[in-house]
Structure 1
Amino acid sequence: MDRIIFIFICFLSQITIAQQAFHNFGDIQIHNQGQIGFHTDLINDGTFDQNVGLTGFYNSIGNLTVSGKNRPIFYDMEIDVAEDLFLEIAVGVTNFQEFINGRVQTPRNRNKVSLDYINDSPYLGENDDRYVDGYSSITGVLDFTFPIGDDFRLRPMRIDTQAATNTARGAYFFENPNFPNFFSSSFDTTNFSNVLFGVSSFEFWDLDGDTETRVTLTWDDNSNIPTLVDDLKNLRVVGWDKSLKQWVSLGNSSTSGDLNNGEITSELMLPDNYTVITFGTSDILLDGDLQIFTAVSPNGDGNNDTFIIQGIAQYPNNELSIFNRWGVEVYNKKGYDNSWAGVSEGRATIARNETLPVGTYYYVLKIEGQKDRAGYLYINK
C-alpha cells in the first residue's frame, strides 16, 4: 500500500515540522478514514489521543523515535522501521497494530514506558525480528499474549482474561537472573523454597498486575530446559517472592511441546507479589494422595537426605525399585519406609553400599491393588 499522509486536524494551536522531527504542541485529531505516516521522529507535547484512522511509522534505512510529555494514542497503527521504533514515552493503540518491519524498543528500566494495547487491541506480524523489545501492556476483558522478546527472539507470555481489566504489563529478559541489568537487586537462583529443586539461570520475565491470573511462559532451544528436567511434568513456573526474597513454585497446570520448544501454564498467582518469573523444577510430584519428593541430596544437611514419599505409610504393602539410566536396578525394597539415602543396593551393583553418582534415576512404586507409579528422581550432593 502506498504510504500516503492524510491529516484531518480538528484544532491545531502550533505544530513545528523540522527536518528530523514532527513536534506537536497543540491538539491533533485524525478523523475517520484519515491516514498519517511519520517518516521523521514524533515529539508529542500536546494532545494527540482522540484518533481514528491509520497511523504509520516508516523508515526503510534507519530508526524513528517517539518522545515528548504526553502519550499519543492511535486507532490503527503499523510499524515499518528498518532500525526499530524507539519509544521514550508510552504509545497507545485502541483498535489494531501491525508489525511490518523492525522492533519496538522501550527503555527496560522504565516499565511504564510501553506499547499499550487498549480495549483488547489485537496485533499481527510478530516474529523473531518483529516484536516489543521491552514492555507492552494490555487493558481489556480478553486473554492476552504479550508480543515481547529479547536478543532477536520472540518469547511471548500469556495471561488470563481477568488480569487485563486493571492493566497488566510485561517484558522478557534473555539474561541471567543472578546478574540482571535493569533491576536494583539480583535474584539468586540457588535460593529457593524446599519444594523446588532448581531455577533457570538463562532467562526471566517481568509481569506486573494487581489481579490474579494464570501465566503461560514459552521456551525454545536456547532456554536449556533439559538442564532442569527430563520430564515436563516436573517443570514449574517459579516466581521471586518479594516478601520471602526467594524463588517459590507457582505450579504447573498444563504443559505442551517438548524439551526444546513448548509452553507451561502456572496455577493462579498474583503478579505484583513476584518481582520476576521464570522456569524451575519441583522436587514434589503430586500423585493422588501421595507427595513424591523427586530429589535426593544425601549430604547430611537434613534436607532431602532420603527419598521421601509422603503418605506411603498408609500403604505398607508396597514395593519400590530404582534404576539407573541404563536400566540397572540399584535399589529394591518391599514395604518402603522413606529410608533410601541414594546408596546402591541392587544385585547388579558393582559398588554396593556406596552413594550413587549425581544424576537422574527412575523409580517404580508398586502398591497392592493400585496402578504402578513411575517417574524420574534426581540425586544431587
Structure 2
Amino acid sequence: MSFIKIINLPIIAMLGLVQLTSAQEAFHNFGDIQIHDTGKIGFHTDLINDGVFNSNLGLAGFYGEDQLTVSGTSIAEFYNSEIDILDGLNLKTSMGVYNTLDFINGKVFTPRTDLDISLDFLQANYNGESDFEHVDGYAALFGDIDFTFPIGDEDKLRPLSISKPSSISTFKSAYFYEDPNSPTIFATLFDTNSFAPILSKVNDKEFWDLDGDQAVEVTLTWDLDSDIKNLTDDIELLRVVGWNNKTLRWDSLGRNDVSGDLEEGDITSISFVPDDYEVLTIASEPSGNDFTINTGFSPNGDGLNDHFEITGLDLSQENSIEVYDRWGELVYEKQNYDNTWGGISENSITVDKGIVVPVGTYYFILKLKDKVTNKVKTYRGWVYINY
C-alpha cells in the first residue's frame, strides 16, 4: 500500500475531507489543507487535489523510486518543495512553488501538448538542476525577476534565461532537442532554409518555445550536440533567431552578448516580445562583413549611444536605409546614411512627425553597393530603441 508521511502534524491544518486509499494509491484532497511555517509533508504516493491547497508555508516533498503523479481540478501551490523521485514527478495539472524548489533526484514531466500544465515558479527559485534533474516539458514564471528556466529534453538540460520584465507577467518555456524542420508537436514546420537575408544558416538540431507578452532579452545556451561549428567558426557571428509566422521565416533577434566557444556557450538577444515568434533557436550571419550594425541605441540626449550607428559604411560606394515599426509603417529612410538617426519619426502614421519614436524593436532594411563589384547587397534586421 502506498503511504504519505506527515511530519509535525499539529502545524498542518486540514479542513474538509482528505482521503487515502490503497485502490487509488493516492492522497486525495477534497477540502482545505494548509501547511504552516514549520510544517513538513512528504508524499510517497500520488496527489489528487480537488480542493484548496494553495496557502502554504513549510515544506512539501515528493519521494520514492517509482514515478508519482500530481493531478486534480485545482492547482497545488507550495512554499518550499523538493523532488526526490528516481523515475520523476508527472504533472497532470500545474503545480506551483512560492519560494524554493530543490531538485534532488529525478525530473518533473509536463505534457508538451498542453501549455496549460506547467511547473510554476511564483517569484520562486530552485537548486540542483542538472541533465538528470530538470523540467522535461514546460516551466513557467509568474513574476518580474531575471529568471532562468530549468528546462531540458530527456537527459539534456538546456536552460533559457530572460531579463526582468517591466511588470509582473507570465512566461512559459520548453526545450526541444529535435529538428525544427520536422517538430513532433507543432503544426508548423520551421523551415531552416527560410530566413532573413542578413542570416546565413539556422541551427537544425534544437529549438526552444518561449511564450510571454512583455519585452525581454533572452539568453540561449548551446553544447557540443548543438553542432555550432556547423553554423560558423566565429561565435561573434551567432544570433538569436525567432520563427515569424507572418513571414514564414526565421528573423534575426540580434546579439547583445555572447560567450564561450564552439563546444559550449550562451548568447543573449536584443529585447523583443516572445509572443511575436513561435519558437527560437540560434543562427549565424555571413562572415567577411566589413561593417558592424549596432542593434540597440538610446536617444536620450546623454551623449552616449544616442544614434543608430553602422560602422564601416565608408567601405560602400553608396547605401540606403529604411526603418519600420512593428506594424510595418515606415518611420525613417535615408540615402547614403551617415549614422545620424536619433530615433525621430519622419511620418505621422503611428507617431507624430518630428517626435522620438516609442521604446521598442524596429525593423531595418540596409542596402549597400560594393565599391569593387558594384553589386548591391541587402541586409535586414532589428534594432531596439530604449531611453
Shorter-normalised TM range:
0.7 to 0.9
Which residue matches 2:83?
79
Which residue matches 2:55?
50
Counterparts of 1:36 and 1:76 in 2: how far apart (Å)? 11
Q: Deviations over 1:228-277 (max 9, x none)?
A: 01101111100001221211100111110000000000111110000000
Between Structure 1 and Structure 2, whose CA radius of gyration is higher?
1
Q: Deviations over 1:21-58 (max 9, x none)?
A: 00111111111101000000000011100000000000
Counterparts of 1:21 and 1:58 in 2: how far apart (Å)? 13
Work out whether 1:100 is the aligned partner of 2:87: no
1:314 deviates by 5.0
1:311 deviates by 4.8
1:164 deviates by 7.0
Q: Supply the AA of the counterpart residue of 1:222.
A: D
From 116, 127, 135, the equivalent of 1:112 is 116
1:116-127 matches, within 5 Å, as: 116-119=120-123, 121-127=124-130
From 141, 145, 162, the equivalent of 2:144 is 141
Counterparts of 2:142 and 2:8 in 1: how far apart (Å)? 29
Aligned positions, number: 301
Q: Deviations over 1:45-75 (max 9, x none)?
A: 111000000000001x211000011110000
Work out whether 1:174 is the aligned partner of 2:177: yes
Q: Is the CA contact (8 Å cut-off) linking 2:47 and 2:69 kept in structure 1?
A: yes
1:312 deviates by 2.1
Which residue matches 1:270?
273
Q: Supply the AA of the counterpart residue of 2:155.
A: F
Structure 1 residues 173 and 164 mapped into 2: Cα distance closer, same or farther (>3 Å)?
Answer: farther
Work out whether 1:240 is the aligned partner of 2:275: no
Which residue matches 2:7?
5
Q: CA RMSD in A?
A: 2.3
Structure 1 residues 286 and 149 mapped into 2: Cα distance closer, same or farther (>3 Å)?
Answer: farther
Counterparts of 1:234 and 1:336 in 2: how far apart (Å)? 23
Q: Is the CA contact (8 Å cut-off) linking 1:90 and 1:116 kept in structure 2?
A: yes
Q: Is the CA contact (8 Å cut-off) linking 1:49 and 1:71 kept in structure 2?
A: yes
Structure 1 residues 99 and 110 mapped into 2: Cα distance closer, same or farther (>3 Å)?
Answer: same
Structure 1 residues 313 and 93 mapped into 2: Cα distance closer, same or farther (>3 Å)?
Answer: closer
Identity in percent: 46
SS at match of 1:161: coil
Q: Deviations over 1:171-218 (max 9, x none)?
A: 100001111111122111111111111111100000100000110000
Structure 1 residues 313 and 63 mapped into 2: Cα distance closer, same or farther (>3 Å)?
Answer: closer
Q: Is the CA contact (8 Å cut-off) linking 1:73 and 1:91 kept in structure 2?
A: yes
Work out whether 1:150 is the aligned partner of 2:185: no
Structure 1 residues 215 and 286 mapped into 2: Cα distance closer, same or farther (>3 Å)?
Answer: farther
Q: Deviations over 1:54-109 (max 9, x none)?
A: 000001x2110000111100000000001010001000000111000000000001
Counterparts of 2:56 and 2:277 in 1: how far apart (Å)? 36
Q: Is the CA contact (8 Å cut-off) linking 1:249 and 1:282 kept in structure 2?
A: no
Q: Is the CA contact (8 Å cut-off) linking 1:163 and 1:209 kept in structure 2?
A: no
From 161, 164, 172, the equivalent of 2:164 is 161
TM-score (normalised: structure 1): 0.75
Work out whether 1:36 is the aligned partner of 2:41: yes
Unaligned runs of 5+ in 2: 296-311, 319-369, 377-387
1:288 deviates by 4.8
SS at match of 1:226: helix
Structure 1 residues 31 and 219 mapped into 2: Cα distance closer, same or farther (>3 Å)?
Answer: same
Q: Is the CA contact (8 Å cut-off) linking 2:144 and 2:169 kept in structure 1?
A: no
SS at match of 1:196: coil
1:13 deviates by 1.4
SS at match of 1:212: coil
Which residue matches 1:329?
none
Counterparts of 1:214 and 1:65 in 2: how far apart (Å)? 34
SS at match of 1:33: coil
Work out whether 1:69 is the aligned partner of 2:77: no
Counterparts of 1:241 and 1:149 in 2: how far apart (Å)? 23
Which residue matches 1:227?
230
Unaligned runs of 5+ in 1: 292-308, 316-334, 342-381
Structure 1 residues 39 and 253 mapped into 2: Cα distance closer, same or farther (>3 Å)?
Answer: same
1:303-322 matches, within 5 Å, as: 311-314=314-317
Counterparts of 1:232 and 1:44 in 2: how far apart (Å)? 48
Work out whether 1:212 is the aligned partner of 2:240: no
TM-score (normalised: structure 2): 0.74
Counterparts of 2:42 and 2:27 in 1: how far apart (Å)? 11
Q: Deviations over 1:341-366 (max 9, x none)?
A: 9xxxxxxxxxxxxxxxxxxxxxxxxx
From 313, 319, 337, the equivalent of 2:372 is 337
Which residue matches 1:253?
256
Q: Supply the AA of the counterpart residue of 2:239.
A: R
